[in-house]
Amino acid sequence: MTFGLQFTNNSGTTVIDSEYARLVVISSGRYAPTEESGMGSTTYFPRPVTSQEPPLVFVRPDTVSAVAGLCFMRLVGSAGNWTGFYVRAYSASTAQPNGRYFVAAFMAQVVADFGMRLWDGGQSLLFDSGTVAANFTRAFQNWTYVKYDYDDQGLTRVYYTVDFGFPQDEYLLINNFGMPMNAGSAIPRNLYCWWDFPNSKLYAITAASSNPTAFFLPALFAKMNA
């Protein structure tokens, strides 16, 4: 940067810059079953997210002695007024949707009653001392193909996995697990996520009538700064 304000930490990492926005946590809390006989969960944020682009929702299912499966994520609201998100358990054989979440965006919002705020040259709010930043911690794209089978509708399901220890402070970006993928027919591939806690494995599962085995979707993890 040529002018403005910049803070660096003891490691020389820039933590606040008047030209670039950080990934800022707008709200955090818990999600829990609200509908569909405990299978579905709609969570409303304590404050709306005012970004024009959809915010990023990160989730961490509660640790259970079973599989926590999540799917069909969608945001509630619209541009400038994102008010919550929906997620569903994979099936009745997996854990109900219980866990923690945070929602983040590459922008700040007016949150603090006192402290410091920082705007860029276009008058976009970049920093508010009432919000914390989130850092991406890792990404998995080296999925291992496991097997395929068929669901009750006759759709082909393909299973991919990666070893993972499920740290308590790391959350999975769930947005991309709510988007259908291209398939070998007009019917897209549905996408599901399994947290297999007993076996310390993260699964991605696709289902479609014509389901290719190639799979490159990254699983992105982040954590909130203290």
Q: What is the mean pLDDT of residues 83-88?
A: 98
Q: In what order do the strands lie in the sheet with 40-49?
A: 40-49, 81-89, 67-78, 190-196, 201-208, 156-163, 144-150
DSSP at 5 = -
Distance CA 211, CA 105 (A): 33
Kindly indicate the confidence band of residue 102, based on its pLDDT and cuts at 50, 70 and 90: very high
Angle value at C-alpha 129, between 128 and 135, nearest 5 degrees: 85
Angle value at C-alpha 202, between 69 and 76, nearest 5 degrees: 45
Q: Tell me what pLDDT residue 45 has.
A: 97
Give 151-178 pLDDT, tens digit per residue: 888 889 999 999 999 999 999 999 999 8
Distance CA 185, CA 188 (A): 7
Kindly indicate the confidence band of residue 13, based on its pLDDT and cuts at 50, 70 and 90: low
Beta strands per DSSP E along 24-170 = 24-31, 40-49, 56-61, 67-78, 81-89, 99-105, 117-119, 125-128, 132-140, 144-150, 156-163
Give me the amino acid identity at 135: N
Q: Tell me what pLDDT residue 214 has.
A: 87
Q: Tell me what pLDDT residue 20 has.
A: 66
Tokens 């606040």, located at residue: 16
Kindly indicate the confidence band of residue 1, based on its pLDDT and cuts at 50, 70 and 90: low
Distance CA 139, CA 217 (A): 10
Q: Tell me what pLDDT residue 132 has.
A: 84
Q: What six digits make up the tokens of 203? A: 């699964």
Q: What is the mean pLDDT of residues 37-50?
A: 96
* Better-predicted residue by pLDDT, 115 or 50: 50
Lowest mean pLDDT, pick from 13-27, 56-70, 108-122, 150-164: 13-27
Distance CA 62, CA 31 (A): 10
Nearest to 155 by CA among 193, 207, 204, 191: 207
Q: List the beta bridge partners of residue 58.
A: 102, 173
Distance CA 104, CA 220 (A): 14
Distance CA 18, CA 20 (A): 6
Q: What is the pTM of this model?
A: 0.89
Listed by start position, the domains of the chain span 6-65+95-135, 137-224
Give 112-154 pLDDT, tens digit per residue: 888 888 887 777 788 787 888 899 999 998 999 999 999 888 8
Burial of 50 (0-12, 13-18, 19+ CB in 10 A): middle
